[in-house]
A = this chain, B = another copy of it.
Amino acid sequence: MQQVDGRRARGDESRRVALSSAVNTASVHGLEGLSIGGLAGSIGASKSGVAALFGSKEQLQLAVVAAAREIFVATVIEPARVQPRGIRRLTALVQLWLDYSSGRTFPGGCFFLAAAAEYDSQPGLVRDAVAAALAEWDGYLTASIRFAIEQRELPLLDDAEQLAFEMLALTAEANSRSLLQDSEVPYARARAAISARLVMLGADPAVLREGGLG
């Protein structure tokens, strides 16, 4: 039987509060724009307390990436699991991702796309963590496509990675354009492009319509 350590529980709660604030500000001002002092102020704690909670700024950034990943899983991955694997889950993933982006789960749009652009060309642990998270999402999408191919739901497709690349491109463009132009139109464009592409690959239009992509 595991006893709860009241001290650790208190610290974990403080970290939770801090991270839920940090994730939001980081999605707007960037992970580099995060400041320990600013974060402390926004949650009513002392600067040194927050610093002690995470050890260093870089570890705070890593914790923020991990927290964002959990939110992403809960918002996009988990809800899609109600759909059976294959084309249905694939369309659900696309729909849920577009909702995740347009619904501003993070006020600055997709957290990982923002972080990736920020650390694109800056080596370090943070960049590696962001790249790993994106690679995970890419891999999950690719696996879903591969399963759909095995199920003969995309009879004209053989390169799963290529389709994943195109879907990620279209969804990412919708995210950034909707932010930059403050418009919902880009999401419709992404939906249309992905839907048309899937139909071209032999997907059942009725299934896409069910999933909201028609």
A113 interface residue (CB < 8 Å to B): yes
Note all chain B residues with C-beta closer than 8 A to A131: 180-181
- In the docked arrangement, what's the CA distance between A200 and B179, Å? 30
Q: Are A189 and B173 in contact (CB under 8 A)?
A: no
- In the docked arrangement, what's the CA distance between A108 and B123, Å? 12
Give the nearest-CB partner of A114 in chain B.
Answer: B117
Give the nearest-CB partner of A115 in chain B.
Answer: B117
Q: Are A120 and B176 in contact (CB under 8 A)?
A: yes
Note all chain B residues with C-beta closer than 8 A to A180: 116, 120, 127, 130-131, 134
The residue from B30, B169, B181 contacting A30, defined by CB atoms under 8 A apart: B30
Give the nearest-CB partner of A120 in chain B.
Answer: B179
Q: Are B162 and A173 in contact (CB under 8 A)?
A: no
The residue from B109, B121, B200 contacting A121, defined by CB atoms under 8 A apart: B109
Residues of A that sit less than 8 Å from B by CB = 27-30, 32-33, 107-109, 113-114, 116-118, 120-122, 127, 130-131, 134, 161-162, 165-166, 168-170, 172-174, 176-177, 179-181, 186, 189-190, 192-193, 200
Given A32-B33, A117-B176, A173-B173, 20 new contacts (CB under 8 A) = A28-B121, A29-B122, A30-B118, A113-B117, A116-B176, A116-B180, A120-B180, A121-B179, A131-B181, A161-B189, A162-B193, A165-B173, A165-B177, A165-B186, A165-B193, A166-B193, A169-B173, A169-B193, A172-B173, A200-B200
